[in-house]
Structure 1
Amino acid sequence: MKNTGMNFRHLYYFWVVAKEGGVTRAAERLGLAIQTISTQISQLEQAIGKSLFMQQGRGLQLTEAGRLALAYADQIFLLGEQLQEALGEADSGRTRLTVGISDSLPKLTAFRLLEATLHLATPVRLVCYEDQFEALLADLALHKLDVVLTDRPVRSGTTLRVFSHMLFESDTIVVGTPALAGAYAQGFPDKLNGAPFLLPTRNNALRGRIDEWFELHNVRPDVVGEFEDNALLNTFGRRGAGLFFAPAALATDLADQFGAVLAGHVPQVREHVYAISNERKIKHPAVEAILSSVHQGVFSTP
């Protein structure tokens, strides 16, 4: 492989110019002469054999190669910042755990899993990001995240070198405000025709199983709303907008936090929770604590 001799100091100057929108402002930020910045970027362009900027009026615009280089530079210098933070935390004796949480995963589930990290002998600093499943996997593959908590495994055949670890599975229940749940609890599920429901969107792993269950029982619900974000779905449920599905293991939490009570059990619809990591065997002590809490029954159905 040809060695381009890329100088990462030059790449950093390019990154600052791109972020600041021009050489003059970048020079002010870095405390360097304009000519110095221009020379360094020219040397970078010579090293990679591509022009990164083109003149547009009095300013600079990124070329196609420049946009591609900026995307990689963003990742490189973000990781550099995380490295500095991690080294600082190493001196303080605190362990850092950077977690990606799928927007479809119930937030109560995520909390119950992560709660185990708060009781370790070595203090843990949690950094949590919420995003769509695919975006989180990409960040995990780039080592921006230590682990991803989600409701689905990684598809077989993916080119990403990441691994799925089943944490637990749970029956689901249908819940709602006391008035709404009480209206449909008698004769559940036969009386659910026309019942108002709040459902996850169709890209959610649970939605297909819910639709199959409706078909099995010949139920035609009145779908009031569909949500990608589970927390927003629960908020509408708390306001009495509709019934909704939830893990049976979280029944007590749902009653305490959302005032949601049981309308009926749905054992045929199973909720799955996975940890996705870069390793076949998880070694991070905080993630090991999560696994241990699951094995000890933190999600036992009440």
Structure 2
Amino acid sequence: MNPLNYRHLHYFWVVAKEGGFARAAERLDMAVQTVSAQVKALELSLGHQLIKSSGRSLVLTEAGQAALARAEEIFRLGQTLHDDVRQAASGPAVRLAVGLSDGISKLAAHALLAPLLDTPSLRLVCHEGEVEQLLAELAMHQLDLVLAGQAAPHNPNLRLSSDRLLSAPVDWYGPAALVRKSAVDRFPDCLADLPVLLPTGHSALRLAIDRWFDQHGLRPRVAGEFEDSALMAVFAARGLGVFPVSRLGAEDLALMRGLRHLGECPDVREDIHAIRSRRGLHHPLVQRLMAGALA
């Protein structure tokens, strides 16, 4: 198999993006015949026709579509090379890859990670997804840490450890138009009369809140459900409804103008667990996070 000529691939990529040899030649500042010859050389190298005529236009064959998809990936990666080299030349970056499970408050997660944000040359990577998916990435060392609403399941093959970082009481907030003194004085009964925003059903916090509603005989009108607590706060600030948030996450609500405190339900708590692999146990930023949160 002949080694791939990336110059030939680039010419083919430009032809496909521009929709023809003439426009590609103009963009490359080359003769049409030269561009055509380079693409033909790529087709000979790969052993398949990539472009064919269709009336007065050119279309990609199935092989050409596959080649274009791979070329898009290659040149997208190539565009990041300058940034990567510049960052490496300016000093080693401290990379921290964190998985955030769908069910946890992103406001609380931000508050937990905030003490690390002043780390020089920090490169913070946050992935969001289902717990099972994130734990698989953690086991394959694609993540250094997972923040989730529950402890790591017992699985001797994964060799994961977890600690509860946070167990914070939950407060309710809402826009000034809804959080009036009469509502505050009647909390939590007022929730039966106000539009309510809640975490989605797979969240551990949602389950605790639903039980709390049952205990108080409340049947609120749910105006919205959100996986992301920060997005929920934005919609609340726009007047959509009142919403619950852990007290730690509420520290970030100062960024949301117009939100007011409605009431407390201290018997409802949000738990966040830090799950690590053996490799993550030795990451300096993970150690710093754990030391600060468990102090």
Shift of 1:201: 4.6
Cross-structure match for 2:5: 7
| 1:60-105 Cα shifts (integer Å, max 9, x gaps) | 2233333333332222222222232111122122627597987967
| 1:96-153 Cα shifts (integer Å, max 9, x gaps) | 7597987967554464455445423x43466x78x9748x98xx99xxx988987679
CA RMSD of aligned residues (A): 4.6
- Structure 1 gap ranges (5+): 157-162
Choose the corresponding residue for 1:292, options 278, 282, 288: 288
- Structure 2 gap ranges (5+): 154-159
| 1:18-71 Cα shifts (integer Å, max 9, x gaps) | 222222222233333322322222233333333333323333223333333333
Alignment of 1:147-186 (within 5 A): 168-171=165-168, 173-177=170-174, 180=179
Cross-structure match for 1:242: 241
CA distance in 2, matches of 1:275, 1:68: 39
Cross-structure match for 2:16: 18
Report how many aligned residue pairs link the two structures.
278
Asked if structure 2 preserves the Cα contact closer than 8 Å seen for 1:116 and 1:290, the reply is: no
Give percent identity, aligned residues only.
36
Query: Residues 56, 184 of structure 1: CA spacing in aligned structure 2 closer, same or farther, 3 A cutoff?
Result: farther
Asked if structure 2 preserves the Cα contact closer than 8 Å seen for 1:110 and 1:149, the reply is: no
Query: Residues 13, 148 of structure 1: CA spacing in aligned structure 2 closer, same or farther, 3 A cutoff?
Result: farther
Cross-structure match for 2:221: 222
Cross-structure match for 2:261: 261
Name the amino acid aligned to 1:295.
A
Counterpart secondary structure, 2:80: helix
Counterpart secondary structure, 1:15: helix
TM-score, reference length from structure 1: 0.66
Asked if structure 2 preserves the Cα contact closer than 8 Å seen for 1:175 and 1:181, the reply is: no
